[in-house]
A and B are shown apart, each in its own frame.
Chain A
Amino acid sequence: MKYIDPHIHMVSRTTDDYARMALAGCVALTEPAFWAGFDRSSAQGFFDYFRQLTEYEPKRAAQFGIQHYTWLCINPKEAEDPGFARDVIALIPQFLDRPNVLGIGEIGLNKNSRNELQILEAQIALAAERDQLILVHTPHLEDKLKGTRLIMDALRANGKIEPARVLIDHVEEHTVKPVLDRGFWAGMTLYPDTKCTPQRAADIFETYGNERLWINSAGDWGPSDPLAVPKCHQELLRRGHPASFIEKVSFRNPVEFLGQSPKFSAPA
């Protein structure tokens, strides 16, 4: 069954992972800019990273018939130094017209600090100014509930952002309803220990429906599984959900949201 993984960090994965994802039915993916596991020593490190996301990774994915799209930003884990973060933000506009760039992301908060919020607001403003889609990272564990509220307030405060053009990711049972109620799209991330298991993601679909909601692996350099999305499909099938349900959450929903960017082309 063909599917889209709308959030995965392929710079941290091997070429074998591309091969396995293609075998499992992945036809397209989107890769947000994120924290490398260490702080970059200069803004120039981000310039190289943005080249990797817009030049190198699309070619690597194409070898396996997978369309590669990306999102650019400075992530909240490196936003505690506002001067550094603004130097990185200044690099982004020159990359926004590249053919696989869908928007700004994954922006958001990590520890819900004032500096993180200031840099989030600056990147929301950039997205508004350049009419870009937004992919949002919500904080981990104890910080998620508060951070999700602060992020939604910041998006509303900008005044120019349409909620339907924003995907708020890493929702769980305590954040999914407020995100959907405010008109945003929501993403569930399938992680082995934190965020959602495939079972809980299926539970959330059964509780909140399958409109404006998708699943992703967010596979990266930490404990994560690039095949988490098809594993969740197996869980849905095991429960008796029809194949059309899976097509809706893992293909038609991503196509509907991502298709708001003229650069996104729905895979055949």
Chain B
Amino acid sequence: MTTSPAIVDVADVSKRFVLHQDKSLKERIVAFARSREHQQDFWALRDIDLSIETGSTVGLVGHNGSGKSTLLKIIGGIIQPTSGTVRRRGRLAALLELGAGFHPDLTGRENVYLNAAILGLTRAETDKYFDAIVDFSGIESFIDTQVKFYSSGMYVRLAFAVSVHVDPDLLLVDEVLAVGDEPFQRKCLAKIADFQREGRTIVFVSHSSDQVGQLCDRVVVLDHGQMVHDGSAADGIKALRSTFEAAHSSPARTTGADGALTSGARIDDVRVTSTSTDLSGDYLPGGDLLVEIDYTIGSVPSGWIAGIDIETPVGQGVYRINTDGLGIELPTSPGNYSLTITLGGNALGAGSYQVHASLVTPQGRDIDRRQPAASFSVSTEPGAVGVVHFRASADLHAT
């Protein structure tokens, strides 16, 4: 198979925002008189190079303020980069906000036509898709009602329905998939899957690593305007995790002159073992999983909690337990401890898993966290897929 042509080419793009405190004429004149050094610059993006192939699904992830929405807007042409160029081809639909351009005083029908025109459909095309749009939104009986009387769910459903019927080659989505009730969300995801099958390119911003892991074949991680990762979804989510960690692993702990902890606590080591492994070291179902956490306490609030998370490599949560749930009160006196959590009867399905360990205050603030702290793989009898394991068998007889 030949490589797909690029649909978007982002070359060396940077974006600087100048933070203005006020917009009044007076302020402007005052600000003009001051030297430019007083302007507060903020680089939302720095030297981004990105080429997106036709038919790929790219997730843009990063914590708040990392510049992912800015990048999406620059690709969409809504804001212009300070330097660098973006080149693009094919028909674009940007779902940065559902129902942008909906006018509350107009009816659903009028808004469908208006919104479709905004997204680039001609009237004839809208006529053609109109029934499909209304059908997808599931609000037939309200289509001639002014949209200001719609519930917020109906509103976004209609807007989403319009957006996905625009027949785009390139779809930019900014965290709008988390709308509507569950059946509608499933419908949306199914539509996205259709889009992928039809070879449309999707670039979307999301906070949900589950969603990214599920949908994307490529993940770009941004951190403070820099691209820190560009590659597979699984690695991307790991990279995202590490930026999160960097963001909030400033645990309040201090060490004395001899290196001993005087406040806070520290995870020293985390080990996972199994009572039942195969020759290659993979764990087998049915055995007990032992998670040992070695930690040092300087000073911690009483009622603090230690916990573990087990996740798949794409960040899907599988299991989570902590000492609070286990009904254990942890001592607060300084010293070294080792906590073993036994998970009896391993029921995980085949695959690799990561273990995260965390020490948190009763209010949920991190004292220390290791993410990932350890990993392991599980082998099961071949033939099943999933994160849980059953002793599956089949019985067949004629009836």
Instruction: Tell whether A and B belong to one assembly.
Output: no
List chain A positions with a Cβ less than 8 A from chain B.
none
List chain B positions with a Cβ less than 8 A from chain A.
none
